[in-house]
């Protein structure tokens, strides 16, 4: 459920007509709904209400500080994967004790930064990394709370580029070696083992892989406790998928996911952490764009938009489907025609959809890409020296630009010429 609905023949974001924002801000831009963000966070929070828990939003999905602060004020923690994300979370007002640090290649500088600024835990991905965290903690005279991310060798049944829980993936340590690694962790100075971490992939539309992975985590918890480790926290990662089309079968709901966690892990008495990104931000954001031209090709019509692959790379990168709907509601029974929907960037990969049936559109008409809130703006670039896509947030009947469109000057001035030129 989201808050982008037609009302009086117009698409609204909460109580603001999208056309009104487009007229003020210009297209293309990302548009987020506060109510949808909060609703999705609350669904997870309620799904875990059976026990102690913290929902750590995976801010890689959409990291504008306005989004972070909105969620943090509702009680969310953050999952960060870089020093930049850590700094951004802190700048948005998230306290260190609500930040977990994931990622396979944390540098010494990033580790120091988090230890100095405060961190809930590092999710350790390898033994070399664990040794570096130990060294940095000792040098600062502090103790680093850690979990070890285990790779359960479970098939998440999702797109290969976003599956992370199989043994061939670079993530975590093989679960079969967990006992050795925890033994080393306990022996190293400056580390405090607090739990276990697992994350098997993104856009999972089936609960079974989660159940398989969590069952292995439950067994491992007992084994590690038997070895004398204090396992008080389980970080279960993110990954619950969202519906990208209205027609296909809806993925499981957070409440079903929460019940599964209780069933598989509830008996262990651990604090549960989850790291959802896509389900919180995905359907809370759209990309608004305008038709520049309709071009007749050989046996097809091209809808040439002012948004391109630099603004939304998911179709080019993962063959992802995003529903594209007009800002002006089509009349009931309006004629539907197939379009190849493309951007202005100079490569054929800059194609959002082929043969997509839509109501007839012409130059100047506006459309929105639905479900673009997660992995949209954060993956945008200035390819073709196109301005980084601005972001706008709506709350009830108000809207605000939360990242302005850079001017050509802003972009050009970032280059510095060497003195010999
Ligand atoms: N935790 C960890 C350790 C992760 O690596 C990820 C996502 C998440 C949590 C959040 O997963 P989510 O709940 O959003 O599924 N760019 C791709 C998705 C990459 C996901 C990377 N890791 C896309 O556009 O589909």
What separation in Å is there between the alpha carbon of 59 and the centre of ligand 1? 9
Query: Which pLDDT does position 357 carry in this prediction?
Result: 96
pLDDT tens-digit readout, 380-399: 999 999 999 999 999 999 99
- Between CA 294 and CA 299 the distance in angstroms is 14
For residue 84, how many other CB atoms are within 10 A of its CB? Answer: 11
Binding residues, as ranges, are 239, 275-278, 314, 318, 347, 375
pLDDT in tens, 225-270: 999 999 999 999 999 999 999 776 789 999 999 999 999 999 999 9
Q: Which residues pair with 6 in a beta bridge?
A: 11
Place of tokens 């020093």: 83
> pLDDT-derived band of residue 57, with 50, 70 and 90 as boundaries?
very high
3-state DSSP of 144-161: EEEEEEEECCCCCCCCHH
Residues annotated in a binding site for substrate: 278, 314, 318, 347, 375
CA atoms within 13 Å, Cβ hemisphere of 293: 7
Task: Decide if pLDDT at 161 tops 90.
Answer: no
**Res 167: pLDDT:** 82
| Stretch (H or E) spanning 44 | helix 34-47
* pTM score, whole prediction: 0.97
- Residues near ligand 1 with C-beta < 6 Å? 58, 61, 79, 102, 162, 199, 202-203, 237-239, 275-279, 314, 318, 374-375
**Which residues carry out catalysis?**
346
CATH 2.40.37.10 fits 4-31+282-413, yes or no: yes
Q: Provide the pLDDT for residue 168.
A: 85
Alpha-carbon gap, residue 313 to 331, rounded angstroms: 31
Phi, psi of 360 (to 5 degrees): -60, 130
34-280 fold:
TIM Barrel (3.20.20)
d(CA 208, CA 221): 20
- Rounded to the nearest whole angstrom, what is the distance from the C-alpha of residue 172 to the centroid of ligand 1? 15
Structure-token pair, residue 17: 């007509």
Where along the chain do its domains lie? 4-31+282-413, 34-280
Quote the ligand 1 centre to 163 CA distance (angstroms): 9
């Amino acid at each position: 459920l989201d808050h982008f609905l037609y009302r009086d023949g117009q698409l609204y974001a909460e109580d603001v007509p999208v056309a009104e924002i487009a007229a003020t801000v210009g297209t293309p831009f990302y548009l987020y709904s506060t109510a949808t963000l909060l609703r999705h966070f609350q669904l997870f929070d309620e799904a875990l209400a059976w026990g102690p828990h913290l929902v750590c939003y995976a801010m890689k999905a959409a990291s504008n500080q306005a989004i972070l602060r909105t969620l943090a004020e509702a009680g969310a923690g953050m999952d960060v994967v870089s020093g930049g994300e850590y700094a951004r979370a802190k700048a948005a007002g998230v306290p260190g004790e609500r930040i977990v640090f994931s990622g396979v290649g944390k540098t010494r500088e990033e580790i120091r930064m988090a230890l100095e600024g405060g961190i809930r835990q590092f999710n350790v991905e390898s033994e070399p990394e664990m040794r570096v965290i130990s060294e940095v903690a000792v040098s600062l005279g502090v103790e680093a709370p850690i979990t070890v991310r285990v790779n359960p060798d479970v098939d998440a049944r999702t797109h290969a580029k976003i599956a992370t829980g199989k043994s061939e993936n670079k993530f975590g340590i093989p679960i079969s070696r967990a006992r050795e690694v925890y033994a080393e962790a306990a022996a190293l100075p400056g580390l405090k083992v607090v739990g276990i971490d697992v994350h098997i992939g993104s856009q999972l539309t089936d609960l079974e892989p989660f159940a398989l992975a969590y069952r292995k985590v439950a067994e491992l918890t007992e084994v590690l406790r038997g070895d004398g480790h204090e396992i008080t926290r389980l970080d279960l990662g993110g990954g619950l998928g969202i519906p990208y089309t209205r027609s296909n079968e809806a993925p499981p709901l957070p409440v079903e996911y929460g019940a599964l966690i209780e069933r598989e892990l509830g008996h262990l008495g651990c604090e549960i952490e989850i790291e959802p990104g896509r389900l919180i931000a995905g359907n809370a954001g759209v990309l608004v764009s305008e038709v520049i031209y309709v071009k007749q090709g050989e046996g097809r019509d091209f809808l040439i938009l002012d948004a391109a692959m630099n603004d939304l790379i998911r179709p080019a990168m993962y063959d992802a489907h995003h529903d594209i709907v007009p800002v002006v509601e089509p009349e009931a029974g309006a004629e539907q025609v197939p379009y190849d929907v493309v951007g202005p960037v100079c490569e054929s990969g800059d194609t959002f959809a082929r043969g997509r049936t839509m109501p007839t559109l012409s130059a100047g008409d506006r459309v929105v890409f639905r479900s673009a809130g997660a992995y949209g703006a954060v993956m945008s670039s200035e390819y073709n020296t196109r301005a980084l896509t601005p972001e706008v947030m709506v709350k009830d009947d108000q809207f605000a630009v939360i990242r302005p469109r850079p001017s050509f000057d802003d972009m050009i001035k970032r280059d510095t010429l060497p003195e010999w030129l």
